[in-house]
Amino acid sequence: MIKTNLKFKKGDNGQYYGFVTRVGASLRGCLETDSCQKSIVFADKALTAIIPNVLYRTTLIPMNDKKHGFIAVNVDVVKFKARVETFISDDTFKVEVKFGNKTISYNPASKSKMYSSISHIADLLSNRVDIMYPGETVNDFLEAASIVLAYYKDSIS
């Protein structure tokens, strides 16, 4: 059995699939569009709770004809510890929540609700399946965002 991390897509036929490439003696997930030599990975049909574009720790077995790819027989969501960072200066007021390769930003000066709505960002964070402690992360974000908002309001008055 082979263990590696990869993301799945949902095909037109409803089958979930991803790609791996060989790096030395091991396999690692890659994008379908990558120019490297890759093999396809199909999720076992018994795995029904897969969410597309979420990173999974997978257990793979080769297909009967090893040249054709692999079957993922076990998948677990990779969960990341999130860091909440606050930035306050004369012209910068923001909070960044970083986990994995993702960053979600709050900026009270933004015209976009995606960046300026505390409740929208808190809801987004609480619904992430790839954050290790979503409740704690949301609480830390709310505390930091309240402080940043107070400093921002003070700076424009």
Q: Domains of the chain, with CATH numbers?
A: 2-77 (2.40.50), 83-156 (no CATH)
At 35 the pLDDT is 93
Query: Distance (Å, rounded) from C-alpha 14 to C-alpha 114?
Result: 30
Q: What is the pLDDT of residue 138?
A: 98
pTM: 0.84
Can you tell me the mean pLDDT for 124-150? Answer: 97
> Which among 65, 79, 115 has a CA at the least distance from the CA of 95?
115
Give dist(CA 5, CA 99) in Å, integer. Answer: 16
Residue 41 has pLDDT above 90, yes or no: yes
Q: What is the pLDDT of residue 48?
A: 81
At residue 141, the pLDDT reads 98
Instruction: Map tokens 């396999």 to a residue.
Output: 27
Which of 48-52, 78-82, 133-137, 142-146 is predicted least confidently? 48-52
Per cent of the chain over pLDDT 70 is 99
Residue 67 has pLDDT above 80, yes or no: no
pLDDT digits (tens, 9 = 90+) for 95-113: 999 999 999 999 999 999 9
Tens digit of each residue's pLDDT (9 = 90 or more) over 73-87:
999 999 999 999 999
pLDDT bracket for residue 66 (50, 70, 90): low
